Amino acid sequence: MVDGVLPLQPAAGTNADFIRSWGHMRTSIFGMGYVGCVSAACLATESHRVIGVDISEQKVRMLGEGRSPVEEEALPEMIRQAVARGHLTATGDAHRAILDTELSLIAVGTPSGADGSLELGFLKNVVREIASALRDKTSPHVVVVRSTVPPGTTERILMPILLEGSGRTLNRDLFVCYNPEFLREGSSVKDFFAPPFTILGTEDEQTFTRVARLYHGVKGEILRCSIQAAESMKTLCNVFHALKIAFANEAASVLHGSGCNPMEAVELFLKDDKLNISRAYLKPGFAFGGSCLPKDVNALVALGKAHGVVTPLLASINASNDSHLDRALALVEKQGVRKIALLGISFKSGTDDLRESPALRLAARLTAKGYDLRIFDPIVCMHNLVGANLTHVARVMPDLENYLDYDLDRVLDHGELWVIAHASPQIRKHLLARTHKAPVVDLVGTSIQDATYFSYQGLCWMPTP
C-alpha cells in the first residue's frame, strides 16, 4: 500500500497540537556506525538537535570532541561544526537520551549469522533499552527502525518488546515506523539529502506525518507503505545491485576472453535506459564488498531456505563475486613477480570500511602465498578502525598494519607490479607523473590517460585507446 507523498498538514486527532509543535526535532540515534554517524551529522546540519548513542566509549569520546568515528566525504567537517554549534552530542546513556528526545532512530548493526540470516541481538537489546526508558517518560515518543531486518521483524519481534517493556499504547503515546536507508559509502552525505525516495513504513497516518517532518530538508518523494514492504526494500535493492555487479563482471570477463572490448560493448548496453533501467552498478570492475551487498544477498537466500523456497539465481551471486576475485588473483600471479604495490585496501574509494573488502581478501591471499606486499590507502588508518570494521580485519588479515605504508612513492618504488584496487584522481595523476613506472594490473577500470606509457592489463577489459 503506497499512499503517496508527504501530506502537508498534520493529521487530525488528539495529538494534533503536539504534531504542529514539532519543527526541528530532538532526536536520538542509536548506533554510531556509518548510517548512524551520517544520519546524525545530516540531521544536525538541518538544525535538528541530535544525540548519538553508542556502547563504544571510543566512538562517544570522538564525537564529543567533534571527530568522526568513520571516514566519509564531508562528514568530519559536518560533525565538527554540528558539535561546535551544540546541535550534536553523544552519550553511552541510552536512558537519558530517550528522556531528552522526541524521536529515536535505530541504526545498529544486524550482521550475518553462520547460515546467512541476520543476527538481531544488538537490535533487540537496543529496543529493550528504549522500552525501559520510556517507562520513566510521559510524553509521546517515536521509534524509527533503520537497521536492515527481514520482513515481519518490526511487527512480530520489535513492537511486542517495545509495548511490553514500555507499558505504552501503539499509535497513542508510542509511534513506530520502519525507514530503510539508501546510503552508499563514499557518497552517503549526498545520498542522505538526495535519495531515490524516502520510504516510511507505517499503517498509521499520524506516525507517517511525525517521521516525515524529520526529512523536511531532503529531496524527492516521501512514500508511505506497509511496514513489511518498507523492511523488504533495503534488501531487495542491495541484492539487485549485487546482481548487476556480478552480471557486469561476468559478462565483461566473457567478452574479454573472446577478444571483444568489454567497455565499448558495456557503454552501448548502458545507452538503453528504457529496458536496461539504470547505469548504476552495471560497469565492470572489481568484486563487490562492504557491509551491505554480500550480507543482504545471504540474508535473502537464507530467508528463502527458511520458507522452503529454492533460489539458485540469488544463491549464485556471491559465488560469482568470489570467482571474480579468483580471476584477479590469477591475473596478478600471471605477471610472475613477487614484489607488489597494492593501491587501495578498503572495499571502495572514499571510505575506510574494510568489511568484506575484496582488496583486503586479495591482500590476505597474496601474503599467504608469500608475496612481498606493500599497501597504500590514504584513508585507512589502523588507529581509527573501530567496531565491526576492526573485528573484520582481525579475522581476515590480522597483520594488515605490517603491510600498510602511508608514503605513496615508497610503496610504488617497492612494487615490481602496481595493482590498482582503487585510486583517486590525484593518485592516478601521480602515477602518470612518475619517471619510473612499473607494469599495472587494474582491477577496477581506473581511467588512466596515456595508459600506453604503462605495461597495462585490465581485469576483464582492455586499456582505453
Residue 22, pLDDT > 60, answer no
The CATH number of the domain holding residue 322 is 3.40.50.720
Residue 10, pLDDT > 60, answer no
In this structure, the answer to whether residues 302 and 212 fall within a common structural domain is no
Which has the higher per-residue pLDDT, 276 or 390? 390
Q: Which of 103-112, 194-203, 437-446 has the lowest mean pLDDT?
A: 437-446
CA 246 to each of CA 265, 317, 367: distance values in angstroms, whole numbers, following the listed order: 16, 6, 26
Smallest CA-to-CA distance from 235 within 174, 317, 128, 329 is with: 317
Smallest CA-to-CA distance from 341 within 270, 435, 443 is with: 443
pLDDT of residue 12: 32
Q: Is-contact 135 288, C-beta < 8 A?
A: no
- Per-residue pLDDT, averaged over 426-437, amounts to 87
Which has the higher per-residue pLDDT, 388 or 226? 226
In this structure, the answer to whether residues 320 and 221 fall within a common structural domain is no
CA–CA separation, 162 and 346 (whole Å): 37
Answer yes or no: is 8 within a domain: no
How many beta carbons lie within 10 A of that of residue 450, not counting itself? 8
Instruction: Give the DSSP letter string of 382-393.
Output: GGG--HHHHHHH
CA 31 to each of CA 145, 186, 351, 407: distance values in angstroms, whole numbers, following the listed order: 11, 19, 18, 34
**Segment 39-62, tens digit of pLDDT:** 999 999 999 999 999 999 999 999
Model confidence band, residue 412 (pLDDT cutoffs 50, 70, 90): very high
Residue 8, pLDDT > 50, answer no
In this structure, the answer to whether residues 125 and 210 fall within a common structural domain is yes
pLDDT of residue 14: 34
User: Where in the sequence is the domain holding 291, given as residue range(s)?
Assistant: 285-458
- HSE-CB at 406 with a 13 A cutoff on CA atoms is 6
* Sheet hosting strand 456-458, strand order edge to edge: 372-376, 339-343, 417-420, 440-442, 456-458
Residue 356, pLDDT > 70, answer yes
Answer yes or no: is 195 within a domain: yes
Answer yes or no: is 274 within a domain: no
In this structure, the answer to whether residues 292 and 201 fall within a common structural domain is no
In this structure, the answer to whether residues 344 and 197 fall within a common structural domain is no
CA–CA separation, 150 and 152 (whole Å): 6
* C-alpha cell at position 179: 525507514
CA 340 to each of CA 285, 289, 411, 416: distance values in angstroms, whole numbers, following the listed order: 20, 22, 9, 6
Residue 145, pLDDT > 60, answer yes
pLDDT of residue 453: 65
Residue 2, pLDDT > 50, answer no
**Segment 255-313, tens digit of pLDDT:** 788 788 888 888 888 888 877 667 777 778 888 888 888 888 888 788 888 888 888 88
Q: Is-contact 455 335, C-beta < 8 A?
A: no
CA 170 to each of CA 10, 132, 329: distance values in angstroms, whole numbers, following the listed order: 18, 15, 54
Supply the residues annotated as catalytic. Answer: 292
Average pLDDT, the chain: 88
pLDDT of residue 349: 86
Answer yes or no: is 113 within a domain: yes
Residue 84, pLDDT > 90, answer yes
Answer yes or no: is 141 within a domain: yes
Q: Is-contact 327 334, C-beta < 8 A?
A: no
Answer yes or no: is 259 within a domain: no
- Per-residue pLDDT, averaged over 157-175, amounts to 96
In this structure, the answer to whether residues 213 and 312 fall within a common structural domain is no
Length of the chain: 465
In this structure, the answer to whether residues 404 and 325 fall within a common structural domain is yes
In this structure, the answer to whether residues 210 and 310 fall within a common structural domain is no
pLDDT of residue 32: 95
pLDDT of residue 464: 62
Among 187, 209, 225, the domain boundary falls at 225
Smallest CA-to-CA distance from 63 within 28, 96, 95 is with: 28
Helix, strand, coil percent content, the chain, rounded in steps of 5: 45, 15, 40
pLDDT of residue 9: 31
Q: Is-contact 122 112, C-beta < 8 A?
A: no
Model confidence band, residue 377 (pLDDT cutoffs 50, 70, 90): very high
- Per-residue pLDDT, averaged over 173-181, amounts to 96
Q: Is-contact 304 310, C-beta < 8 A?
A: yes
Among 173, 198, 225, the domain boundary falls at 225
Model confidence band, residue 195 (pLDDT cutoffs 50, 70, 90): very high
Which has the higher per-residue pLDDT, 18 or 440? 440
CA–CA separation, 261 and 39 (whole Å): 41
Among 225, 241, 276, the domain boundary falls at 225
Model confidence band, residue 451 (pLDDT cutoffs 50, 70, 90): low
- Per-residue pLDDT, averaged over 124-149, amounts to 96
Residue 11, pLDDT > 60, answer no
Instruction: Give the DSSP letter string of 407-424.
Output: -HHHHHHH-SEEEES---
CA–CA separation, 209 and 16 (whole Å): 10
pLDDT of residue 23: 57
pLDDT of residue 185: 86
pLDDT of residue 6: 37
How many beta carbons lie within 10 A of that of residue 219, not counting itself? 10
In this structure, the answer to whether residues 219 and 302 fall within a common structural domain is no
pTM: 0.78
**Segment 198-248, tens digit of pLDDT:** 999 998 999 999 999 999 889 989 999 999 999 999 888 888 888 888 888
CA–CA separation, 79 and 67 (whole Å): 7
Residue 72, pLDDT > 90, answer no
In this structure, the answer to whether residues 305 and 160 fall within a common structural domain is no
CA 141 to each of CA 10, 55, 102, 136, 176: distance values in angstroms, whole numbers, following the listed order: 16, 22, 5, 12, 9
